[in-house]
Amino acid sequence: MTRYVIGRLGQLVLVLIGVSVIVFFTMHVLPGDVATLLLGERATAEQLASLRHQLGLDQTVLVQYADFALEAARGDLGTSLRSNHTALSDVWLAFPVTLQLALSALLLATLIGVPIGVVAGTRAGGMLDNALMTLTLFGVSMPIFWLGLMLLLLFGAVLGWLPIGGLMPVGLDAPRVTGMTVIDSLIAGRADLIAASLRHLVLPAVTLATIPLAMIARVTRSEMLATATLDHVRTARAKGMTERRVILRHILRNALIPIVTVIGLQLGLLLSGAVLTETIFSLPGLGRLMVDSILSRDYPVVQAGALFIALVFVLVNLLVDLSYGLLDPRIRRS
């Protein structure tokens, strides 16, 4: 097992090097000159040349990449051209917002998606199965940026039940500890803060959960169906085991690996896919930071954000693979 983990970590390093190459070279074919961008159109040729020298832009691209990779390995991904903070600190500041959103969406998607899949799988071909699967098809076909707007319109504007965007009401903030408003509110121990942070989280989390919920439900259903035909299930039934026990202990347990895979993959996708949800609900998360940085050509932040998200994405995938051992004793023993 240890050898396997070390091998996977080695692969992870190779993938990250590949990701850094793609991100770096993509950013360096950006249209426009960074020096002109920083100093403005009125800068003299000498000023531009001096800044290019200072930033290392007068070196060959390969030398620039080597510098970038060495600095990145030390945790220095440059300074934001907009905020003047280090790029990594901007990313780090925005990340908890995205993490909170992605985790709450994944929690919703799993808590609702798995039971839907189990119910549909155990009534395959019936009316309830058809109705649930039609709903999940609607879910995977839903443009979430539209769904978010419609939910805002209905629950925010028409019914007035929930706030229209933002992390917290203006003037009400929990002291920052983790950067995740719900956790920070819990740490502060104030009921008004907890209620406010949860109320602000409901619509974005529901919006972002829609597609993963549908995917998880569909995979759960199909895996339940595939596992239900196996011999050990028939034996369990023949032994007179209750249907509930057969479903939970023998079918669902054995169908868990593909379900956990999908759940894990969804977390990685949610972390990057949150960009649209963050835009609609005006949340200052990582996705929104990336888009704003792209539009203003703040390439150090784009690089830092991309590397950071890719790192999280591959780490989550690694954790998902490692979790197989916990779920299946056969994998653990091998």
Partner 1 sequence: MSTAEGQAAVPVRKPGDLRRVLRRVSAKVGLLITLVFLLLTVAAPLMAPYDPYDQDLSSALSEPSAEHWMGADQYGRDMFSRVLYGTRTALLAVVVADGLALVLGCAAGLVAGFFGGRTDAVIMRLVDVVLAFPYLLLALIIVAALGPGLTNSMIAIGIVYTPQYARLIRGQVLAIRHADFVRAARALGASRLRIMLRHVLPNSITPILVMATLQAGSVVVETAGLSFLGLGAQPPSPDWGALLADGQSYFLTAWWIATFPGLAIFLVVLGFNLLGDAFRDHFDPRRAS
Helix, strand, coil shares of the chain, percent, nearest 5, are 75, 0, 20
Mapped onto helix, strand or coil, the DSSP state of residue 60 is coil
Nearest approach, Cβ of 309 to partner 1 (angstroms)? 5
Q: Is 142 in the site for partner 1 (CB under 8 A)?
A: yes
Q: Which of 93, 135, 269, 322 binds partner 1 (CB under 8 A)?
A: 269
Q: Is 313 in the site for partner 1 (CB under 8 A)?
A: yes
Binding segment for partner 1 (CB under 8 A), chosen from 59-67, 75-83, 231-239, 269-277, is 269-277
Identity of the residue, 183 or 294, whose beta carbon is nearer to partner 1 in the bound complex: 294
Using CB under 8 A as the criterion, what x/- string covers residues 14-53 for binding partner 1? xx--xx--xx--xx-xxx----------------------
H/E segment holding residue 13: helix 2-27
Q: Is 4 in the site for partner 1 (CB under 8 A)?
A: no
Using CB under 8 A as the criterion, what x/- string covers residues 271-310 for binding partner 1? xxx-xx--xx---------xx--xx-x-x--x---x--xx
- Rounded Cα distance between 193 and 186, Å, is 8
- HEC readout, 270-325: HHHHHHHHHHHCCCCCHHHHHHHHHHCCCHHHHHHHHHHHHHHHHHHHHHHHHHHH
Nearest approach, Cβ of 229 to partner 1 (angstroms)? 11
Q: The tokens of 272 are what?
A: 């990057």
Nearest approach, Cβ of 205 to partner 1 (angstroms)? 18
13 closest CA partner among 330, 327, 315, 325 = 315
Nearest approach, Cβ of 157 to partner 1 (angstroms)? 5
Which residues ranging from 160 to 199 are in contact with partner 1 (CB under 8 A)?
164
Count of residues engaged in binding partner 1, rule: CB under 8 A = 48
Nearest approach, Cβ of 175 to partner 1 (angstroms)? 31
Mapped onto helix, strand or coil, the DSSP state of residue 271 is helix
Residue type, 209: A
Neighbours of 148 (CB within 10 A): 24
Q: The tokens of 205 are what?
A: 């989390």
Nearest approach, Cβ of 184 to partner 1 (angstroms)? 27
For residue 289, what are the contacts with CB-CB under 8 A and spacing of at least 6? Answer: 90, 91, 94, 301, 305
Q: Is 212 in the site for partner 1 (CB under 8 A)?
A: no
Q: Is 263 in the site for partner 1 (CB under 8 A)?
A: no
Q: Is 141 in the site for partner 1 (CB under 8 A)?
A: yes
- Rounded Cα distance between 150 and 309, Å, is 29
Residue pair 212/255 in contact (Cβ under 8 Å)? The answer is no
Phi and psi, residue 86, nearest 5°: -65, 145
Identity of the residue, 236 or 316, whose beta carbon is nearer to partner 1 in the bound complex: 316
Residue type, 28: H
Neighbours of 115 (CB within 10 A): 12
Mapped onto helix, strand or coil, the DSSP state of residue 288 is helix
Binding segment for partner 1 (CB under 8 A), chosen from 50-58, 117-125, 139-147, 171-179, is 139-147
User: Which residues of the chain form contacts with partner 1 (CB under 8 A)?
Assistant: 14-15, 18-19, 22-23, 26-27, 29-31, 137-138, 140-143, 145-147, 149-150, 152-153, 157, 164, 215, 268-269, 271-273, 275-276, 279-280, 290-291, 294-295, 297, 299, 302, 306, 309-310, 313-314
